[in-house]
Amino acid sequence: MSNIKNSFANGKAFIGFLTGGDPSLEKSEEFILEMVRGGADLIEIGVPFSDPIAEGPVIQAANIRALAAGATIDRLFQLVRRMRGQTAVPMVFLTYLNPVYRYGYEKFFETCRLVGVDGVIIPDLPYEEQIEVRPTASVNEIDLISLVAPTSENRIKEIVLNASGFLYVVSSLGVTGVRKEITTDLTSLLQAMKAVSDIPTAVGFGISTPAQAAYISRLADGVIIGSAIVKIIEEHGNKAGRYLYEYVKSMKDALLA
């Protein structure tokens, strides 16, 4: 296992997502450092894609902004390389499969290793299709992070047994985006997962408030916050750093309380 285990060593983990290059690569660098200062235990960097089918409107818009600003996989690799001089926080990429496929699996995972990307989440690569990338990821010691959904049911065991890094638990049906309440029976979902393995679990999709984070912290090992962070960036643009710090701190406090 990579560096990612350190993310779960400081109480319940706060995992913060932003779309790489939104609104610019320089700002992403600053925003990541602000989130780390606020207590983020792991940073998820979204590789912008033209057609992010698992995303709601907020992250879709961030993808468009980042692409318009010229973000590419190569530039995101450079971003991570620069940041490795400044922080040891584990960083993972969230990317659709096509950019990785086009880049070439070997070159992609090798570059991840060289620049210091610890793991990769690929939302359109379910368990059955992971076979085509998993060996390349393992050789380079990059965790391929699997997702478990409320609909996974009989698939949970196999997914969990083959998981690496942590498990991304999808809290709700549908696409990413802030939700008022989480209606999935997370308790039994997480119990089913814990029965198979003690690999860390982090819950994402729809979570935005400290109260929701506190609730999740009783069930899982961490929370993943995406749309709520991207919304702050959308609202405050270049000046979002301070707000991100405050937001992450409030969430991490709720997780530790």
Site residues for another protein per CB under 8 A: 49-51, 53-54, 56-57, 60, 67, 72-73, 97-103, 123-129, 146-155, 159, 170, 173-175
Listed residue (162, 255, 168) closest to 215, CA to CA? 255
Which is nearer to another protein, 57 or 257 (by Cβ)?
57
Q: Give kind and range of the element (H or E) at residue 14.
A: strand 13-19
Whole-number minimum distance, CB 98 to another protein, in Å? 4
CB of 255 to another protein, least distance (A): 25
CB 30 within 8 A of CB 188: no
Identify which of residues 93 and 247 has a Cβ nearer to another protein in the complex. Answer: 93
Q: Torsion-angle region of residue 196: left (phi > 0), alpha (psi -120 to 50) or beta?
A: alpha
> Residue 248: left if φ>0, alpha if ψ -120 to 50, beta else—which one?
alpha
CB of 106 to another protein, least distance (A): 15
Q: Which is closer to another protein, CB of 89 or CB of 159? A: 159
What's the min distance (Å) between Cβ of 145 and another protein? 12
- Contacts (Cβ under 8 Å, ≥6 apart) of 85: none
Is the Cβ of residue 1 or residue 67 nearer to another protein in the bound state? 67
- Pick left, alpha or beta for residue 22 (phi over 0 → left; psi -120 to 50 → alpha; otherwise beta): beta
